[in-house]
């Protein structure tokens, strides 16, 4: 059985990244490496929240980004997930934006995704926040997905 990966908004966005700063180029390259050569090893999921963010944004490559996400399984967002979001915010595990990072984490946790794939290293793929988030998930009786970047699912630095 393939492991499951929840695709958060930054992943398809970075696939078509055009900024030239070295960090942005590196993230684009790692994203493409994972998507093109490793993603088929996993069962891929996203949520309507991700698709809404991608549709609402104004950025170059929007059509290509949406096309990239076309065949990804979309997980439902229900009332239980919004209750989890409220708990993350109340326990200060995630920022107050109920349609942002807390929602992505709640969906990935609720559906027991093995990985939440993101380039958001401030609020999601952040080792300094991991214990706090994990503690909230344990308290809520939730699965804890690994919060990681594409680089970590490709085997790391070459």
* HEC string for the chain: CCCEEEECCHHHHHHCCCCCCHHHHHHHHHHHHHHHHCHHHCEEEEEHHHHHHHHHCCCCCHHHHHHHCCCCEEECCCHHHHHHHHHHHHCCCCCCCCCCHHHHHHHHHHCCCCEEECCCCCCCCCHHHHHHHHHHHHHHCCCCCEEECHHHHCCCCC
How many separate domains does the chain show? Answer: 1
The model carries a pTM of 0.92
Q: Is residue 158 part of a domain?
A: no
Instruction: Give 5-46 pLDDT, tens digit per residue.
Output: 999 999 999 999 999 999 999 999 999 999 999 999 999 999
Give the domain extent around 108: 4-153
User: CATH number for the domain including 122?
Assistant: 3.40.50.1010
């Amino acid at each position: 059985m393939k492991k499951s990966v929840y695709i958060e908004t930054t992943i398809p966005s970075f696939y078509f990244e055009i900024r030239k700063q070295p960090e942005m180029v590196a993230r684009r390259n790692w994203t493409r490496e994972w998507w093109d050569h490793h993603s088929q090893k996993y069962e891929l999921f996203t949520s309507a929240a991700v698709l809404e963010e991608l549709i609402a944004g104004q950025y170059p490559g929007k059509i290509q980004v949406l096309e990239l996400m076309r065949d990804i399984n979309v997980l439902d967002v229900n009332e239980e997930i919004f209750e989890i979001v409220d708990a993350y915010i109340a326990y200060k595990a995630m920022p107050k934006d109920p349609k942002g990072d807390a929602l992505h984490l709640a969906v990935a946790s609720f559906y027991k995704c093995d990985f939440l794939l993101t380039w958001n290293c401030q609020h999601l793929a952040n080792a300094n926040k991991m214990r706090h988030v994990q503690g909230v998930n344990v308290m809520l009786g939730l699965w804890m997905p690994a919060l990681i970047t594409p680089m970590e699912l490709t085997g790391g630095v070459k």
